[in-house]
Every structure is written in structure tokens, then in C-alpha cells.
């Protein structure tokens, strides 16, 4: 890969004329206050198709007034 | 004095966009909400915003906003920020509003949190909830000084009605710089799609790879039609060229929150789940019992999608006829 042979120049903030207080953590205006677990969606019922699944699904829809 | 939240309202077909109204409603629940509406139908849209929560509306009716990409709006809002200091600017996540948020943030040194699903004031700070990495949520805060920006996820909030509320209207007269009129919009093309729009449908039936081939997608459309809903698709089958992008549900497609979502032959990649797991009821049909879709389904059926789908369509039609 040609990219590996290219010169690698490291610049400092001063080279770029950037005020250190404006970048990185010091410059960030947003803070992370907490990290927690997302509420998981509870898994429901899983059935194996025995040729009757259309009925089971339609019953489910009717039970929840979705038909 | 209560804090003020600004909401920039996008206009679609001469009306306030639903996504903007969702944000306005949330803002009005949190505190005093003020709307900003810019563009050629702005004066017509402004008086409708009171009943969606706005106490005040800043209006600038000018076709420049319609003809040039985002920069004129950035100019006007930056100008307005010099006169007022709201606690927060809340925006829906759309292509244009994301762009406007990023530019405002840099130009005015504001502070920006994207992807929010909830937010609340805790004293003087704004606490923003952001889902992160699938199973975690991050609570981020914005600075107490100045105005922060929060972009909220689609469908994070419902549209709220504030019956009898009338917004005070203030007409703006900003000067839009010549520099902001460089990216001209030449043409707008709408992708046609049949049936109810995915985002507004209360029932969505979606298909994935498990359908086997494009010719089988009609089975999904027929069930959707029988239920009076819309048909959707996974990224996999959109990428495979079975359907146009307008059908795509998921992280890089549409975020939907219908009452009922039926996933047919969809394994449930996390990117797909991200776009539909807010649905009230989820039914999944898939032949692989280990498919992740079953972990979010209220009812999962392990079986052959191509066999079960037509049976279910018949059964739905039969029961609806009674």
C-alpha cells in the first residue's frame, strides 16, 4: 500500500494556531452526566408453525383490537 | 421567569411538517415554546402553530429560504440569537435541520447534542437522553450559559394539541447575506410511493430477505392492503434492488412507530430494529428460531413466511368481512 510509505507529519495545536481551551475536553460544551442501561423490550411469545399460525396471529390481532 | 425553547418549523406542502410539530409539542410540555418559521408559506403556517404549543412565532416569509440550501436560515437564526437568549433550540432530525444545527453550533459557539430521545430541565441544566450502542443510554448535559441545541430522533414524541392556544406573531425583517445565497436549489423531485406514507401508517407490514425473491413481495403488499396499512422493507432488499429507498425502514431509512408492525422474513439486524422497535405491537414471522427479531416481538412465529403470509391475508380478510 502506497499510503504506508508517505511521510507522516505531526502537527501541534500551536502549529495550527488553535487555542487549547477551544478543543478537546476543555473546549467541549457538552458533558456526559451518566451512562445507563436502555430499557429492554420484553420478548413475547414465540410459537412454532404447525399449520395454524394464521389463526394464531389473527387471534392476537383481534385480541389487541388491531383488526 | 420560565425558560424559553425555540423550535424551527419546517414547511412541507404549505403546512408545518409533522416532525417539527412533534418537537414543538415536547418543547411546550417542557416550558415556554416559541416557533420560528421561514419560507414562502411562513405567514400561512405561523397562525396554525399555537394549537401545537407555540406561545409565540417568529415569521419571515421569503422565498430565499426555499431557493437556497440552509444558509439563509442560519443567518436569520444567528441574527435572532443576538436579540434573544432562549435556553434551548430544539430541532427534528432531518437533512436540512441537521445541517442548520451544525452550522449554528459552530458560528455561535452554542453546544449541541444529537439523537436525543428525551430531555428535561434539571435546575438550570438541560439533561438529554441519547441511546448509545444499542443497549445503553447516555445522559448528556448542555452548558447553563447561552443557548444549547438538541436534535431529537424522529417519532421520539407524539404531536400534542394545545386547544385554544393562540400564538403571538412577530414578523422578522432580517437581511440575508449574499454569501448565504450560493448553494441554489435547482429542482425538487418527489419519489412516488403507493399506499399510506410509512411514517403516518398505523399498520406496517415489512418484508426482508426471507421472502426469497422480489416477485414474492406482493405477499407483503397484500397483507398490508388487507390491514389498511403500508408496506415497508429492510435495507437488504432495497439494496438488492427489489424496491425503491422510500420503502426502507431502519437506521438509514425511516423510523416508524405504528400501532402494529408485522416483520416477514426479517432477521432483525440492529439497524432495522433501530427503526421499528418503538412500535406498539410487533409480530414476526421467520424460519430461523434464533433470529434477533424474536427478541423484540410480542408474537413470534417460527415458520415459512411464504406459506403463512397468504393464509394470514385470507384470514384477515375473512374476519374483517364479518
**Helix extents (H) in chain B:** 18-30, 42-45, 64-67, 71-83, 95-108, 218-226, 235-239, 270-276, 305-321
A1 at B interface, C-beta within 8 A: no
pLDDT bin (cut points 50, 70, 90) of residue B194 is low
| CB contact (8 A) between residue B302 and residue A46 | yes
| CB contact (8 A) between residue A35 and residue B134 | no
Q: How far is B212 from chain A (nearest CA, A)?
A: 19
Q: Which of A32, A41, A57 sits opposite B301 (nearest CB)?
A: A57
Among B residues 154-183, those touching chain A with beta carbons less than 8 Å apart? none
pLDDT digits (tens, 9 = 90+) for B147-188: 999 999 988 999 999 999 999 999 999 989 999 999 999 998
A26 at B interface, C-beta within 8 A: no
Residues B278, B284: Cα–Cα separation, whole Å: 14
Q: What is the reported pLDDT for B304?
A: 96
Question: Could you tell me what percent of chain A has a pLDDT over 90?
Answer: 61
Q: How far is A18 from chain B (nearest CA, A)?
A: 15
Question: Could you tell me what percent of chain A has a pLDDT over 70?
Answer: 100
B106 at A interface, C-beta within 8 A: no
Mean pLDDT over each residue of chain A, to the nearest integer: 90
DSSP secondary-structure letter at A42?
Answer: P
| CB contact (8 A) between residue A57 and residue B299 | yes
B22 or B155, greater pLDDT: B22
| CB contact (8 A) between residue A57 and residue B312 | yes
Q: How far is B307 from chain A (nearest CA, A)?
A: 9
Q: What is the reported pLDDT for B195?
A: 59
Q: Which of B281, B282, B301 sits opposite A49 (nearest CB)?
A: B301
Q: What is the reported pLDDT for A39?
A: 79
Cβ burial of B246 (10 Å; 0-12, 13-18, 19+) is middle
CB within 8 Å of B94: residues ≥ 6 apart: B10, B17, B19
Q: Which of A35, A54, A67 sits opposite B138 (nearest CB)?
A: A35
Residues of B in contact with A29 (CB under 8 A): 109-112, 142-143, 148
pLDDT digits (tens, 9 = 90+) for B228-253: 999 999 999 999 999 998 899 998 99
- Mean pLDDT, to the nearest integer, of B124-138? 86
Residues of B in contact with A54 (CB under 8 A): 308, 311-312, 314-315
Which of B108, B122, B311 should one mutate to test binding to chain A, selecting the residue with the greatest count of A CBs within 10 A?
B311
Q: Which of A37, A45, A62 sits opposite B299 (nearest CB)?
A: A45
pTM recorded for the entire structure = 0.82
| CB contact (8 A) between residue B139 and residue A46 | no
In A, minimum Cα distance to B141 occurs at A31
Q: Does residue A44 carry a pLDDT above 60?
A: yes
Q: What is the reported pLDDT for B189?
A: 87
Q: Which of B110, B136, B298 sits opposite A35 (nearest CB)?
A: B136
Of the listed ranges B56-65, B118-127, B135-144, B197-206, the one predicted with least confidence: B135-144
Question: Could you tell me what percent of chain B has a pLDDT over 90?
Answer: 85
ipTM of the complex: 0.73
B196 or B143, greater pLDDT: B143
Q: What is the reported pLDDT for A4?
A: 86
pLDDT bin (cut points 50, 70, 90) of residue A25 is confident
Amino acid at each position: 500500500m502506497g499510503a504506508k510509505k508517505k511521510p507522516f507529519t505531526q502537527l501541534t495545536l500551536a502549529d495550527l494556531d488553535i487555542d487549547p481551551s477551544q478543543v478537546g475536553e476543555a473546549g467541549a460544551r457538552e458533558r456526559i452526566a451518566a451512562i445507563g442501561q436502555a430499557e429492554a423490550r420484553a420478548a413475547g411469545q414465540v410459537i412454532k408453525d404447525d399449520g395454524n399460525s394464521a389463526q394464531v396471529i389473527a387471534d392476537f390481532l383481534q385480541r389487541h383490537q388491531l383488526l | 421567569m420560565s425558560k424559553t425553547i425555540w423550535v424551527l418549523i419546517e414547511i412541507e406542502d404549505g403546512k408545518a411538517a409533522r416532525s417539527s410539530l412533534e418537537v414543538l409539542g415536547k418543547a411546550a410540555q417542557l416550558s415556554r415554546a416559541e416557533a420560528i418559521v421561514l419560507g414562502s408559506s411562513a405567514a400561512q403556517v405561523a397562525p396554525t402553530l399555537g394549537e401545537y404549543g407555540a406561545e409565540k412565532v417568529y415569521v419571515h416569509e421569503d422565498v430565499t429560504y426555499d431557493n437556497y440550501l440552509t444558509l439563509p436560515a442560519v443567518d436569520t437564526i444567528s441574527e435572532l440569537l443576538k436579540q434573544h437568549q432562549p435556553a434551548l433550540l430544539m430541532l427534528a432530525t432531518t437533512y436540512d435541520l441537521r445541517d442548520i444545527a451544525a452550522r449554528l453550533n459552530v458560528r455561535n459557539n452554542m453546544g449541541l447534542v444529537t439523537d436525543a430521545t428525551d430531555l428535561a430541565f434539571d435546575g438550570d441544566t438541560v439533561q438529554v437522553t441519547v441511546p448509545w450502542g444499542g443497549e445503553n443510554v447516555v445522559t448528556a448535559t448542555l452548558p447553563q450559559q447561552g443557548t444549547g441545541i438538541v436534535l431529537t430522533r424522529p417519532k421520539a414524541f407524539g404531536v400534542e394539541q394545545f386547544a385554544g392556544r393562540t400564538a403571538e406573531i412577530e414578523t422578522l425583517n432580517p437581511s440575508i447575506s449574499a454569501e448565504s445565497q450560493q448553494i441554489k436549489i435547482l429542482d425538487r423531485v418527489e419519489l412516488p410511493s403507493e399506499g399510506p406514507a410509512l411514517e403516518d401508517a398505523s399498520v406496517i407490514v415489512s418484508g426482508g430477505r426471507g421472502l426469497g425473491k422480489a416477485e414474492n413481495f406482493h405477499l407483503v403488499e397484500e397483507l398490508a392492503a388487507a390491514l389498511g396499512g403500508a408496506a415497508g422493507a429492510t435495507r437488504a432488499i432495497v439494496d438488492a434492488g427489489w424496491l425503491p429507498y422510500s420503502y426502507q425502514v431502519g437506521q438509514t431509512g425511516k423510523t416508524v412507530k405504528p400501532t402494529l408492525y408485522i416483520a416477514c422474513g426479517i432477521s432483525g439486524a440492529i439497524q432495522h430494529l433501530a427503526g421499528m422497535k418503538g412500535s406498539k405491537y410487533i409480530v414476526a414471522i421467520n424460519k430461523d428460531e434464533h433470529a434477533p427479531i424474536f427478541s423484540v416481538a410480542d408474537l413470534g412465529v417460527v415458520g415459512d413466511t411464504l406459506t403463512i403470509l397468504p393464509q394470514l391475508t385470507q384470514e384477515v380478510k375473512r374476519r374483517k368481512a364479518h
